[in-house]
Amino acid sequence: MTERVTVTGPRRRRPPARRRAVTAEIDAQTQLGEVYMRALLRAQLRLSLAVAGVVLGLLATLPLLFAVAPRISEIEPAGIPLPWLILGGLIYPALVAAAWFYVRAAERVERDFGDMVNRR
């Protein structure tokens, strides 16, 4: 029986790949940096369109509601017609709430992007 011999050469290791920081990719405006920036802009656009869609949807359905159900106009809590009360008073807190939600969500998107960029 013949003995097996393993023939090996010196280990050839590739030098470790130098990873560029994501911020360097963005600053250098490379294709990868552009991908990151497009992702951020897409997330911000998606958020803004969602909030704007909800607010505009709410505002657009009110006149439709008043036209479809005219009896709503006859309701007068505290002597003020309900459409006036809704359009003159209740819409503004809803707009402030939508703006507050948008700012919080936009900050979260930017914070997540910053965390991703600063991760190594």
**How do the pLDDT tens digits run along the chain, 120 residues long?**
778 887 777 777 776 666 667 676 776 778 877 888 898 999 999 999 999 999 999 988 988 888 888 888 788 888 888 888 888 888 999 999 999 999 999 999 999 988 888 875
Contact 33, 25 (CB under 8 A): yes
Positive/negative CA dihedral, 80, 81, 84, 89: positive
Q: Report the 3 state secondary structure along 69-103.
A: CHHHHHCCHHHCCHHHHHHHHHHHHHHHHHHHHHH
- The angle subtended at Cα 50 by Cα 82 and Cα 86, nearest 5°, is 5
